[in-house]
Amino acid sequence: MDKSFDIPTTPIQFEKIAVNPGPSCMSFGFDMKPLLNSIKKIGLINSPILIKKRKGEGAVQYEVIAGFRRISALRALSLNPIPCRILPSETPSLDCLLINLYENLCSRDFNPVEKGMVLTRLLDLIPEREVLDTYMPLFDLPSHRETLHLFAGVEKMFDHQAKTLLASEYLSMKAAKLLIEMDGTERNMFCGYFSAVRFSKNQQTQFIDLVSDLSHIENSPVTCLLMDPRLKDIRDNPQMNNPQKARALITVLRKKRLPRLTKAETGFKQMVEKLALPPAFQIVPPPFFEGAQYRLEISFENGKDLKERLQFVANNERLAAFINPWKMNL
């Protein structure tokens, strides 16, 4: 490719430009407002790049190589014609893709869906090794085959809903990795939950993990488990906010998946309640009861206060009944 990019602009009417993004475009889930405001305020700074279609059928004669968002914004503002730079129709596909890529790289970050779009198209045009070594680092991604195919999998296997969740950060890449290995129906059902309930990133993977585990244990399809009325009722409960729904869903699943642990957690809470300690005292169990030591936290104002509180604890007869909250079947 000629290293200089000095192409004069030509005014092109909307009607002659394809409405859909061409194969070189890589925009997904963008917010048009800032661009609209910018164009309204100071006009178009950077002219879109088009290519003349090899077979100019009908009115449409040009495909968008770079600037699809700008063209959409200009269309919305009815600013016609648009000053565009036109590439010769024989420009190789790889060059077109790289023009778009490097133009965008200079001005914005790519979301995971867009990274998947670019990498997938590059894989069609150049050897995998070159994609790994040259292009993965451009997206701050490790040059690992597994990572490359994860992003390509997003492009190939995710539907619009799943891509939208991922692009808008309502779905983490870690969760996406788990969803990619599922069939489309299962993935869609999970995405239904993730769009209805805003889980935290950790809760997303926990939710997928719990449902997948239960599916294996109960030999029941994921889709059946996700149709469970108890889960659907929580998801669709208008009285609960998002964090409450997420916590409640996880709680229901954990109870089923980890019956002994959740029973121990409940037993622990009941034992602590029975101790009737004032709010200044808190007993903290080791995570998952794995460590051997519980921790007693005491808030106090001064030494005298601490002494009194320690005395209070020492005199609490009920403490002797505090034991590990599980029963063993020895």
Partner 1 sequence: MAGYPIKETIVEEGALESPMGRRILRHTPVRSIRRSLEGSTRDNMGKDALHLLHHRGEFLKPCPGTKEYICCGYQILNVATNCPLDCSYCILQSYFMNQPNLRIHVNLEENLSGILACIDNSPHQIFRVGTGEFADSLALDPIARWTDILMGPFSTRKNAVLEFKTKTTNIQGLIASPYRDRIIVSWSLNSPLIAATEEKGAATLKQRLEAAGKCQSEGFVVSFHFDPMIAHENWREGYLKTIELMDRYLNPKGIIWISMGSLRFMPDLKRIIRKRHPRSVILNGEFITGLDGKARYFKPIRMELFHFMREKLESWHRDTGLYLCMESNEIWRKTMGWSPGNSNGLKRFLDDRVRKIFG
Distance of CA 79 to the CA centre of its chain: 35
Contact present, 197 and 246 (Cβ < 8 Å): yes
- Joined together, the tokens standing for residue 142 give 């490790």
* Beta carbon nearer to partner 1, 219 or 239: 219
Long-range contacts of residues 197-201, Cβ cutoff 8 Å, at least 24 apart: 197/235, 197/242, 197/245, 197/246, 197/249, 198/170, 198/242, 198/246, 199/246, 200/246, 201/172, 201/174, 201/175
State the greatest distance between any 2 C-alpha atoms of the chain, in Å, as a whole number.
92
Q: Report the nearest approach of partner 1 to the CB of residue 301 (Å).
A: 35
* Beta carbon nearer to partner 1, 53 or 257: 257
Cα gap 97→275, rounded to integer Å: 68
Q: Report the nearest approach of partner 1 to the CB of residue 131 (Å).
A: 17
* Beta carbon nearer to partner 1, 74 or 132: 132
Task: For strands 82-87 and 49-52, give the pairing.
Answer: parallel
Helices (H) and strands (E) in the chain, counts: 15, 6
Q: Report the nearest approach of partner 1 to the CB of residue 216 (Å).
A: 7
Please work out, in degrees rounded to the nearest 5, the angle formed at the alpha carbon of residue 44 by the alpha carbons of 169 and 22.
Answer: 55
Helix axes 145-157, 160-167, angle to 10 degrees: 130
Q: Which residues bind partner 1 (CB under 8 A)?
A: 178, 181, 212-213, 216-217, 257-261, 264, 287-292, 324, 326-330
* Beta carbon nearer to partner 1, 52 or 201: 201
Q: Report the nearest approach of partner 1 to the CB of residue 159 (Å).
A: 22
Cα gap 101→5, rounded to integer Å: 14
Q: Report the nearest approach of partner 1 to the CB of residue 260 (Å).
A: 6
Residue type, 188: N
Q: Report the nearest approach of partner 1 to the CB of residue 127 (Å).
A: 12
* Beta carbon nearer to partner 1, 116 or 285: 285
* Beta carbon nearer to partner 1, 64 or 264: 264
Cα gap 45→69, rounded to integer Å: 13
* Beta carbon nearer to partner 1, 95 or 209: 209
Q: Report the nearest approach of partner 1 to the CB of residue 314 (Å).
A: 25
